[in-house]
Each structure stands twice: as C-alpha cells, then as structure tokens.
A and B are shown apart, each in its own frame.
Chain A
C-alpha cells in the first residue's frame, strides 16, 4: 500500500513513522507481509521508543511474535534478515520455540563490526521469554572469549546469569522463580561494578560480581535460542522467545519504559506473559 494512502488512513494525527515503513518494505522484499493492523501496533512501539530516547540507544530489535516468519526475522532498525537454523518452530503472533539441542536463530549481528551505538563499555541486551525454563542455557548470546560475551540465561534455578560484555555475574530472581518476561542486562562503564540486570523493568539484586571484562566487542554473530561460542552453536535453550533487542546501555527509567513499550506490543498481539 502506498505510504501516502497509509498516512491518509492515519487521519488528522501523525504520519506513519518513516523507519517503520522502511522496515515494512524490507519485510516485503524478504518474502513476508505486514498487515495494516500490525503496522499500527508497531508504529506505536516505535513512536514510544523514540519518545523516551530508547530508539536512538538501540542497535536493533526483533519482534519474533510476528504475523509470518519473514516479518519475525527482519530486524526493525538495521533491517537485517536473520536466519532460522535447523527449523525452530514459528508460531504466528506468539514466538519462536527452540528444541534445546539443535535449533537457533542467527541474527547476523556481529557487535564488533555492526554496532552503531553499542560500545565496549556501553552495552544493553534483552530477551522476552514466554515459558518458564531453568538451566545454564542461552536465550540470546555470543561468546568470543576473553570476556567478550553478550548473553542472557534468564533463569538457572533462583538466578539470572547475565553477560553484558563481561562474564561471571549472577543476580537473584524474585520469587516465584521464573524465566518468564523481559530479562535485561547492561554494562555502563569500564569496571566490573558497572553492570545492571532487570526483570520486567525492575532491577534485580546482584549475588555474584563479574570476573572478567571484555576489552572489545564480540567478533561472532549473535544467536537467539543458543550461544554462538567462537563460531559454534552451544548452550541451546528450549525456550519460546517473543522479542529480543540490543544496543547501548539504558538507565533505570529507560529500562522501565522499554518494558512498558515491549509489553504493550506483546499485549496488542496476544503474546503477553
């Protein structure tokens, strides 16, 4: 549908966001489609993200709770086409579910070369898990060694294990222990104390400090449903994931706003948990 027609349908309010329309065009070029109803929902997400400054601090987003697989695999900001490897199960309007042994998504995002706002000491990664899974397994991750790891284990027992370009940290989950919801972690500086971790926008309490800082960003691509361990998939997580994002560090207000925006998107498509 032409942009002029779409924007006319918006009535007297604002026009559709130009970045969103570029994403829509990329989805179509990748063999997918975006309904008008879904365009309105994601337009609201982008508008809300820009309003609080989060869009400018983010390298990319994947809304895996999409209407079709090409839409899910086309990233919202860099419009990168991810690859579904070994047939993870896509469910429209919900998530991708991984088998915990072989399947994963390769985002194609190599932080060391593709990051625009993420920096060595300025990192944020997050994932939205829709079912409760416990284990030392990775929802989103890459590990290039020497502390150059970006990863999230949303739950292992009573802990969330984050690696925002530093490794070894652990955070205590609030009860009842669950992996469900939006897990967030980030690095805000050059020391092991410059780390945060949150669930659904609320900061968690650290139980173990990081032990090793990455002095550069990872040089391998970021995986979803597993970790890219120096080019080899590992730590497969049998999770159902609806959303991931990564970029520069967010402050506490921005983390809470991000959760609110993500949850609004999830609720609009029926994927909220």
Chain B
C-alpha cells in the first residue's frame, strides 16, 4: 500500500498551489477526517514540487492501509 505524508491545515496551506517551475502541475493536499491533510509520497520525487521537498521530507508519514489512516470526509454520489 502507498505511503502518505500527513499535514496540518496550516502546513497544507503552505504547500497548496501551482508549481513555480512547471506550468501544468499543482499541489492540493486532500483533507481527511480529523482535520488531517494528506499527500502521496510521489510528490517528493516530482521535480515540479522540488521547492517544497525539504519542507515535506520532515513531516510524518503513514501507510494508506494502516487502520489509523484517516477516513475520507467527502462523498459524492453519482
């Protein structure tokens, strides 16, 4: 299962937005239950988001299959 970076609302605000180096890339941490925001660790190796790498590298991570991984907050029926 994939690993995810865990962020607070403030940390999510810090990284959210378009890439400064790549025209068609952006970060938008996804909110989960409990006010936790997540990003896949793939963003750490994406050159588009290099400016945020050092900031994201020191944040906690959790396996998506871990029972404590926060549930989704949004449901959209078809």
Residues of B within 8 A of A149 (CB): 76, 78
Q: Beyond A86-B27, A101-B40, A103-B40, is A235–B49 a contact (Cβ under 8 Å)?
A: no
Residues in A whose Cβ lies below 8 Å from that of B58? none
Give the contact-size bracket for chain A: 35 or more
Minimum Cβ distance to chain A for residue B59 (Å):
14
CB atoms of B40 and A70 under 8 A apart: no
Known A87-B48, A87-B49, A89-B42; judge A102-B30 contact (CB<8 A): yes
Interface-forming stretch among A17-25, A35-43, A77-85, A242-250? A77-85
Partner of B26, one of A85, A89, A230, A234: A85
- Taking residues whose C-beta sits less than 8 angstroms from the other chain, chain B's interface range is 20 to 34
Residue on B nearest A73 in the bound complex, by CB: B24
Establish whether residues A30 and B23, one from each chain, have CB atoms under 8 Å apart when the complex forms. Answer: yes
Taking the closest CB of chain A, its distance from the CB of B52, in whole angstroms, is 11
- Could you tell me which residues of chain B, from 6 to 39, have a CB within 8 Å of some CB in chain A? 18, 22-31, 38-39
Question: With A229-B76, A234-B76 in contact, do A31 and B28 touch (Cβ < 8 Å)?
Answer: no
Q: Which B residues are closer than 8 A to A by beta carbons?
A: 2, 4, 18, 22-31, 38-40, 42-43, 46, 48-49, 64, 72, 74-78
